Amino acid sequence: GQQLNQSPQSMFIQEGEDVSMNCTSSSIFNTWLWYKQDPGEGPVLLIALYKAGELTSNGRLTAQFGITRKDSFLNISASIPSDVGIYFCAGRTLGGATNKLIFGTGTLLAVQP
Amino acid sequence: GAVVSQHPSRVICKSGTSVKIECRSLDFQATTMFWYRQFPKQSLMLMATSNEGSKATYEQGVEKDKFLINHASLTLSTLTVTSAHPEDSSFYICSARDTSGGADTQYFGPGTRLTVL
């Protein structure tokens, strides 16, 4: 199936550092969602973006919907050990009856205390 | 956020048997639910879209006769893996679409780990 390009694939950082990851697509999306998945669990919704240019924060997390509607980024400030996990972006295309999500390939984040 | 449950959380079965997985939206009604499969160290791959009161829409390459989906109510969708084989072993995750309050998001269940011996 179709997937978004997400980068980086993995990040190994020190506690307290800031983190940035992004997703790009060849298609235009009308919605971008960011999820975090812990091992053996389902993804948990972090931030939802609905308008081009929209910048939304959720605690230490900030995400933006790119102006071109083909990209989005997620920033995590002052990382802590519990930020460890896999982060996925997901986009929903314009139109279509099913409104299904297309997922990014994921970014594995490791935080060293 | 909204809560979606899945049952069972893990199941081990013999090859050739059928397994049913339930997905429930606990605090909102979902006319649309989705079923994903995730292999180790990979992203989520959509298998099918489950629509309440109508037939499911399957993604290319997913056998509809093997993965039976029923969405009989606004809060429950079931996935039945028929005649399971070891290659069907995977992490199956459902999600429910929430369009209440002007939003349009998907909330995921905790997943079901299927192991076929």
DSSP assignment, residue B59? Answer: P
Closest A-chain CA to B56: A98
- Report the residue of A41, A46, A65 to disrupt the B interface, i.e. the one with the largest count of B CBs within 10 Å: A41
Q: pLDDT per residue over A16-64, tens digit each? A: 999 999 999 988 899 999 999 998 999 999 999 999 999 999 999 999 9
Alpha-carbon radius of gyration of chain B: 14
Report d(CA B109, CA B86) in Å as an integer: 23
- Which residues partner with A10 through β-bridges? A108
- Using the Cβ of B43 and the Cβ atoms of chain A, whether some distance falls under 8 Å is answered with yes
Q: Determine how many CB atoms are found less than 10 A away from the CB of residue B79.
A: 25
- At residue A103, what is the residue type? F
Separation between Cα atoms, residue A83 and residue B91, nearest integer Å:
22
Exposed/middle/buried for residue B44 (C-beta within 10 Å: 0-12, 13-18, 19+) = buried
CB atoms within 10 A of CB B117: 10
How many residues does the structure list for chain A? 113
For residue range A53-102, list pLDDT tens digits in order: 999 999 999 999 999 999 999 999 999 999 999 999 999 876 655 578 88
